[in-house]
Amino acid sequence: MARVFTAALALALAGCATAPVPADCTMAPADRAWLEGALANWRRVEPQLLRLPAQPLPTVAAIDGQCTYLLPQGGFAGVHAMRHDGTAVLPDGAEAPLGPISFASGEGGYFAMSLPSVWRAAGVTSELGLERLMEGVLLHEMMHIRQTALAARTLGDAASAAGIADDDLNDDIVQARFEGDPDYVAAWSMERDALFAAAAAPDDAQARQLAAEALALMRARRARWFTGDKASFTAMDDVFLTMEGMGQWLIHKYFLSPEGGGLTPADSLRAVRRNQRWWSQDEGLALILVVDRLLPNWQERAFRDPDWRAERLLAAAIEN
């Protein structure tokens, strides 16, 4: 369900160079220091921002220019290193071409990410600093490990009803099916903009008013377009807005923190939204910003009950 090389960063990376690493499959010190720090950061934000009890990490598949390192529960004790020839083999047998990637696999319960040396060799840069950018990406994708169990059944049933193959189901599925319809795009854009306006409103009363307008627009959009053999898109839209929105919100909160650079809210939002290309990430972020503003303890509902997804969370925030 997660996008390989988080798509909001979408770059043309064909033919990217491999990164120099020791010949004996030993992770470069700078890569290892980054990975240890990024995983420690996840352990910090999991209870602090997501209010989840600490849980063991999944297997982490870290990839550099020559090797894939499998870290049991995200630890270097018992790490298993394997050479690759430009295509990393992951714990479930899937293959990933060498390049900037980061994704969570619900099926195998693992997290895969290429290391900073690979991203740097591919020419990825950021005004935030490459490592800080990658920390945000890791937080977003690692969180999907915690969401997969709640989302899997709903997504599976919805995709089956819509005739969507498992390999085609991802967080851009709604966008892929409807972005060619200008009327749909206009309706969706109004909805997204109303949510961002609600998040930025000067007081909570106005935030609720704008959020209510956005909710009405959402319900009207779904009632118009998600009908007949497309009725199950409502569930897919709801799940992916929630998952991607929470992932983007987590990056935003991290960038606001001292550990993430202490950015201003405006600078952080600009960094997280980037080119605003991906619908589920952009609207999802706006929606969760509103929910976070108006609905205390929303994390407990969103993580513990599969029925507490985007539309229900937004409605509860408006009524609170």
Output the pLDDT for position 237: 95
Q: How far apart are CA 176 and CA 174, in angstroms?
A: 5
Q: Kindly give, in sequence order, each residue whose CB lies less than 8 Å from that of residue 307, ignoring residues fewer than 6 positions away.
A: none
Output the pLDDT for position 15: 32
Q: How far apart are CA 101 and CA 165, in angstroms?
A: 23
Domain boundaries, the chain: 7-144, 164-319
The tens place of each residue's pLDDT in the chain, 320 residues long, gives 433 334 333 223 323 334 443 457 999 999 999 999 999 999 999 999 999 888 889 999 999 999 999 999 999 999 999 999 999 999 989 899 999 999 888 655 899 999 999 999 999 998 899 999 999 999 999 988 888 777 777 777 787 777 877 777 788 899 999 999 999 999 999 999 999 999 999 999 999 999 999 999 999 999 999 999 999 999 999 999 999 999 999 999 999 999 999 999 999 999 999 888 999 999 999 999 999 999 999 998 887 887 899 999 999 999 99
Q: Kindly give, in sequence order, each residue whose CB lies less than 8 Å from that of residue 10, ignoring residues fewer than 6 positions away.
A: 275, 277
Q: Can you give 33-53 as a three-state secondary structure string?
A: HHHHHHHHHHHHHHHHCCCCC
Q: At 152, which amino acid appears?
A: A
Output the pLDDT for position 4: 38
Backbone angles phi, psi at 118, to 5 degrees: -70, -45
CB atoms within 10 A of CB 25: 16
Q: Kindly give, in sequence order, each residue whose CB lies less than 8 Å from that of residue 315, ignoring residues fewer than 6 positions away.
A: 215
Q: Kindly give, in sequence order, each residue whose CB lies less than 8 Å from that of residue 277, ignoring residues fewer than 6 positions away.
A: 7, 8, 10
Q: Cβ distance 289 to 80 under 8 Å?
A: no
